[in-house]
Chain A
């Protein structure tokens, strides 16, 4: 059981995290950032996140600001 917090102000839509999450819990959202790109969101209705923090470690903008496990 885990969870993450995404700071959407920092997200630049590089989508590295969407391909890093082993459970595919980070997805493109329908919200856009200042550049007009679709930002990511954390979607985990079944509580699958294991709090591995791989997404946070690879995020180049520290947009994933918290990981809990």
Chain B
């Protein structure tokens, strides 16, 4: 027999995810680790970490990391890349970090066409603080700060980052993927790899928005949460590649 699955080497030895049961952060981080393995770049990579559940990536990945204050991961990554143009630089943030407090940094990093790869986990809520309304909370979604559901007259609309980033001229690749099923996970990995590849080829900013579950704050079982991604969430945030300058 042949081994067809193993723990990616880019993980630290004896890492243990501290996420809630069923949380898709673990899948996203594993895909990043697998891609770092496959591209053989882990030893040449530096990451700027964000704030929120995603910050703990430095506990799990065997990658040099520098912490940035909330929302400033892409600014910090820009500094790293400008100082070390030969290094591979990536950020891994939640939607609150990337699309709310850090929106200016995210858009301008894309507009400048920084040779950086960024991942944004979209779980439509602020997970670490207990499930508040965030920039991506869907219309009608109940959170601790939208107890009657997100009413568009009162709270406004969710932001669609993959589309916005695709509109920036400096963006080389922008896609939205999901982690709810095996086919979608396979697609997600391809997108993650492509987002790194455009950096390696010096083409510009690579971005992947990853629809992922937060069963704890959605008050759902993991399977119900994945069902929500396939349904309501995918309707608000359609999956697909929004920009790929290599095609």
Q: Would A and B touch once assembled, by the CB under 8 A criterion?
A: yes
Q: Hey, which bits of chain A sit against chain B, CB under 8 A?
A: 1-3, 9-10, 12-16, 19-20, 35, 37, 51, 53-54, 56-62, 64-69
Q: Which of B27, B185, B215 has the most CB of A within 10 A?
A: B27
Sample (29) of A-B pairs whose CB atoms are under 8 Å apart: A2-B1, A12-B20, A12-B21, A12-B22, A13-B21, A14-B21, A14-B22, A15-B222, A16-B226, A35-B21, A51-B1, A53-B4, A53-B5, A56-B5, A57-B182, A58-B185, A59-B26, A59-B27, A60-B25, A60-B222, A61-B19, A62-B7, A62-B17, A65-B6, A65-B7, A66-B3, A66-B5, A67-B4, A68-B4
Interface presence of B30 (CB below 8 A): yes
Question: What is the size category of the interface that chain B forms with chain A?
Answer: 20 to 34
> B23: CB under 8 A from chain A?
yes
Of A12, A13, A57, A65, chain B has the most CB atoms within 10 Å of the CB of A57
B129 within 8 A of A: no
Interface of A (DSSP majority class): loop
Q: In whole angstroms, how far apart are the Cα atoms of A58 and B24 in the complex?
A: 9
B2 at interface, CB cutoff 8 A:
yes
Kindly identify, within residues 211 to 229 of chain B, every residue whose CB is under 8 Å from any CB belonging to chain A.
215, 221-223, 226
A2 proximity list for chain B (CB < 8 A): 1, 4
Contacts of B247 in A (CB 8 A): none
Q: Which residue of A lies closest to B30 (CB)?
A: A62
Known A58-B27, A62-B11, A66-B6; judge A14-B1 contact (CB<8 A): no
Known: A2-B1, A3-B1, A66-B5. A57 touches B185 (CB 8 A): yes
Residues of A within 8 A of B181 (CB): 58
Kindly identify which residue among B3, B19, B23, B26 contacts A68, using a CB–CB cutoff of 8 Å: B3
Q: A62-B7, A69-B4 are in contact. Are A14 and B222 (CB under 8 A)?
A: yes
CA distance A59 to B182 in the complex (A): 10
With contacts A57-B185, A60-B17 known, is A1 near B24, CB below 8 A?
Answer: no
Q: Are B5 and A60 in contact (CB under 8 A)?
A: no
Residues of chain B lying within 8 A (CB to CB) of residue A35: 21
For residues 1 through 47 of chain B, which have their beta carbon under 8 Å from a beta carbon of chain A? 1-7, 11, 16-17, 19-27, 30
CB atoms of A69 and B2 under 8 A apart: yes
- The interface residues of chain A lying within 8 Å CB-to-CB of B27 are 57-60
Interface centre among A15, A19, A61, A65 (most CB of B within 10 A): A61
Given A20-B182, A67-B4, A68-B3, CB of A9 within 8 Å of CB of B16? yes
Partner of B22, one of A1, A16, A20, A57: A16
List the 6 closest A-B pairs by CB distance, nearest first.
A67-B5, A14-B22, A60-B26, A12-B21, A14-B21, A68-B1
Q: Which residues of B are found within 8 Å of A66, using beta-carbon distances?
A: 3, 5-6
